[in-house]
Amino acid sequence: MSVPDSETLTPDDIFEILSNHRRRMVLYYLRKDGGSVEVRELAEEIAAMENDTSVTELTSQQRKRVYVSLYQTHLPKMDQMNAIEYDKDAGTVQLTDQTTNIDRYLNTSEQTTYPWTFHYVVLGLLSGLTVTLSLLSVPVFSGIPLVWLGLGIFALFAASAVIQVIKRNRETDIPFELSQYEQE
């Protein structure tokens, strides 16, 4: 099954890619490591994660098993589907633009995320109420110049947006198999 460069991955393609834990670990490690890595390093890191050990403590059999699996099966399949770019001759792997389509399907967080929609609705309602009370000359609110009120409201929305972007960028989708190790 090959995906042309101009097309995005279908949900079926994405689920096929994500159906194997090693392919999920490839995507996880590539995102974690900056998007590009040598196959040998990738295989060692995945083998270490799978065996709950460090790279230096891996046996040659543990390294080989993961390396062969990636080299012969998983990386060519992911490359064929444009989920990654795999240069067999150079021995490198890197993320592609298609990865963002895959990332939408990875949500391993068991905790609920902050309700940003509700946050902005409440912030909007409170802002509207504050402006309305100021325009109606309610004693406490009438003393605040509308310019300062507007700047304050703008600052609250801007701060909320910046915090939301920072929180979103810090979230890393961890394969289910690794979530227990990453929290330690």
CATH class of the domain comprising 11-106: mainly alpha
Provide the angle, in degrees to the nearest 10, between the axes of the packed helices 39-50 and 60-69.
Answer: 120
Every domain of the chain and the residues it spans: 11-106, 116-170
User: In this structure, what token pair is assigned to residue 106?
Assistant: 């990875």
Q: Does the pLDDT at position 5 exceed 50?
A: no
Helix, strand or coil for residue 6? coil
Asked if 172 and 32 touch (Cβ cutoff 8 Å), the reply is yes
Q: Please compute, for residue 91, the number of CA atoms within 13 A of its CA located in the half-sphere on the CB side.
A: 8
Name 97's Cβ contacts closer than 8 Å, sequence gap at least 6: none
The whole-model pTM stands at 0.58
Residue 2 in this model has a pLDDT that exceeds 50: no
For the segment 103-155, what is each residue's pLDDT rounded down to a tens digit? 777 655 555 567 888 999 999 999 999 999 999 999 888 888 999 999 999 99
Place of tokens 């909007």: 124
